[in-house]
Structure 1
Amino acid sequence: MERGIGGETAPAAARAVARDADPRDKAGMIRAAAIALLAAALPLAACAPGGPVEGASAAPAEALAQARWPAAPPVRAVMLVVHGYGDYAETLLGEVAPFWAASGIEVRAYDQRGFGRNASRGAWPGAEALISDFAAQARAARADHPDLPLIALGHSLGGGVVLAALGEGRAPEVDGAVLLAPAIGGGPHINGFMRAGMWAMTTLIPDRRLSGEGIVRIQASDNVPALRALAADPLYLAKPTPREMQGLVRIMDRAEAAAGAVEVPLLIALGARDEVVDNADVRAVAAKLPRPPDLRDYSEGWHLLLRDLGRRAVWEDVRDWVLARAP
């Protein structure tokens, strides 16, 4: 039996920390439980040989799965979409992309390396590979449409990838970006205790898929049928590994560090009921942007803003923001 904080088992420690958290702060309770779970691995870390690397190996060359929704003429803008953790292009955009395309926005998307329909599904490629892939996709979109505005849209992990790439000067072809519930709260917003626990887990069990069952319960949307569909989708990657969680943190770190160099206009959309990302951290990172972003709050929004029951308002706001930058 693995021992945790104060001699408790990991689940017991997690419940104890969550019990002491402010019950009105649901996100805080979830983070507290996660910290306790991660800390349970710390006593074993001293016995682990060497430190982990983020990716199992250098990401091999791979033709990434693509999805496109041609726009109804006249075509006014191009949107390049980057999905979040576990997701893939067709399931994220299957409902909303035709809506945007009908308004003259060509929607292009790809399954990120390690996810969806790619042969690499389930193998974390590393932060650098994900950012490089986005940069390559942006170059291809610009080559196909040299005279149209190119707007990137990133959800969750995808938002971190987009912001990091823009701030690091990796995607100069992009004219603006939409970040939906973005995973960008890295750097000082992730404490050292959490980082130490993450390192320990990645050292000990880097590729074990974790459910968190019995420790934390996170609801991603109020659209229950959509959640059930994702749960039944064999291509949806629901349970992260410690290696993937550490990789996500590295994306968030790079996004936070690069935010001060992002010059293009941004729309940032947040759901008030989001239990996955910390909206306060997102706002703190947004405050570093040289150009104040268009920040939208959705009082009934959750993490899956494009799938929530109130998704139509998000769809329309994204459409209007993109077309406002089109000729």
Structure 2
Amino acid sequence: MGARAAGVLGGLLMALLLSACAATTHPAGPAIRPPVLEDGAIAAADGARLPLRSWLPDGEPRAVIVATHGMNDYSNAFDGPGRALAAKGIAVYAYDQRGFGAGPHPGRWSSTAAMAADLRTAVHLLAVRHPRAPLYLLGESMGGAVVIEAAVHVPPPEVKGVILSAPAVWGRASMPWYQRAALWLAYRLAPGWTLSGRGLKIQPSDNIEMLRALSKDPLVIKETRVDAIFGLVDLMDAAQGDAPRLDLPSLLLYGARDEIIPPEPTWAAVAGLPHLGTRQRAALYADGWHMLLRDLQARVVIDDIAAWVADPSAPLPSGADRAASEKLATLASEGR
């Protein structure tokens, strides 16, 4: 090895070793006050302020949805779905989770427990605001994993059901060994490094105009720390393991073109639901991508959500529930 190459390698190793000291998380602190709803925010018990958006119908809502966004996104993710559901008489609330948007410590991971506890806090506060309306949880991707954790561990009694849009149930048990090994090594050597995802050629939606807007939004995180990815995988581990314990009425939505959450762990999670076929079911959208609620066919998905909230036992208008049942039957016949 030449002197120059050795110097480059030595510099790289030094950078890795220095980065090893940079792992940081920001879980919730001790409770210092009762949580309250403020103007445009949820004030958590530890003093954290979580920006809150709302989309409200005219008059009393017939139902309330509390929504949790995906990784590197924030509450504005539900602007389109929120407006559409409000027009159908359903109130929608969404907040910036810790580490995202305008929430505390953007770009830094909090913890699975803190995220689930924040969702329970939001539920309790909004149920008091709307005591006569049934309340549902809606989680997109990472937010779906948060919903699972909040609903399985100390489930809020106010929640009548959950809607999981492409939930992040892709835990380590479903990852190839080299992905697990790469994440383990990167976390221990360079947890402060950031990754952008550029060059992966993964498409999250067919709504290109929406994706361009996200790329210009300063509140959308563009480069992710390794320790945040590690925290996300911990969350996905928990959600994958806990999905079979989900006892509430549930609707799981998945797009056949999803390039973010693989189909294998998704369909395994569906098949493992304890009340599948009665109080729980799935919906498969042939033209759906990962961002089902913002795809070009988002209206189809939103109409299904509104119909399910109105009557969880009725067939979905789109027929996506039948498509999911057929997919599950095919997988079962193939022994998968």
**Given the two structures, how large is their TM-score scaled by the length of structure 1?**
0.79
Q: Which has the larger radius of gyration?
A: 2
Match of 2:174 in 1: 189
1:168-183 aligned at under 5 Å gives the runs: 168-183=153-168
Q: In the alignment, which of 119, 134, 137 is matched to residue 149 of structure 1?
A: 134
Are 1:65 and 2:51 counterparts? yes
Match of 1:298 in 2: 285
Alpha-carbon shift at residue 146 of structure 1 (Å): 2.8
Contact 1:84 1:156 in 2 (8 A): yes
Residue by residue over 1:36-80, the C-alpha shift from the partner in whole angstroms, topping out at 9 and shown as x without a partner, is xxxxxxxx8xx9699999753444431100011122334211100
SS at match of 2:50: coil
SS at match of 2:159: coil
Match of 1:252 in 2: 236
Contact 2:98 2:106 in 1 (8 A): yes
Moved more, 132-141 or 66-75: 66-75
- Listed as ranges, the gaps of 5+ residues in structure 1 are 2-43
Are 1:158 and 2:143 counterparts? yes
Are 1:308 and 2:295 counterparts? yes
Are 1:271 and 2:240 counterparts? no
1 or 2, which has the higher strand percentage?
2
Between the aligned partners of 2:219 and 2:18, the Cα distance in structure 1 is: 33
Between the aligned partners of 1:54 and 1:78, the Cα distance in structure 2 is: 38
Alpha-carbon shift at residue 184 of structure 1 (Å): 1.2
Alpha-carbon shift at residue 98 of structure 1 (Å): 1.6
1:43-192 aligned at under 5 Å gives the runs: 55-60=24-29, 61=46, 62-90=48-76, 92-186=77-171, 188-192=173-177
Contact 1:48 1:203 in 2 (8 A): no
Match of 1:321 in 2: 308
Question: Percent identity over the alignment?
Answer: 37
Return the letter of the residue paired with 2:147.
Answer: V
Q: CA 1:188/1:54 → structure 2, altered by over 3 Å: closer, same or farther?
A: farther
Counting matched residue pairs gives 281
Between the aligned partners of 1:199 and 1:218, the Cα distance in structure 2 is: 23
Alpha-carbon shift at residue 147 of structure 1 (Å): 3.0
Between the aligned partners of 2:281 and 2:248, the Cα distance in structure 1 is: 12
CA RMSD of aligned residues (A): 2.5
Residue by residue over 1:235-286, the C-alpha shift from the partner in whole angstroms, topping out at 9 and shown as x without a partner, is 1112222111111111111111212221111111111111100122111012
Q: In the alignment, which of 198, 222, 225 is matched to residue 241 of structure 1?
A: 225
Match of 1:6 in 2: none
**Given the two structures, how large is their TM-score scaled by the length of structure 2?**
0.77
Between the aligned partners of 1:53 and 1:323, the Cα distance in structure 2 is: 48
Between the aligned partners of 1:324 and 1:167, the Cα distance in structure 2 is: 23
Return the letter of the residue paired with 1:322.
Answer: V
Contact 2:26 2:108 in 1 (8 A): no
Between the aligned partners of 1:168 and 1:183, the Cα distance in structure 2 is: 17
SS at match of 1:230: helix
Q: 1 or 2 for the larger relative contact order (CA 8 Å, sep ≥6)?
A: 1
Between the aligned partners of 2:73 and 2:116, the Cα distance in structure 1 is: 17
Q: CA 1:164/1:133 → structure 2, altered by over 3 Å: closer, same or farther?
A: same
Return the letter of the residue paired with 2:284.
Answer: D
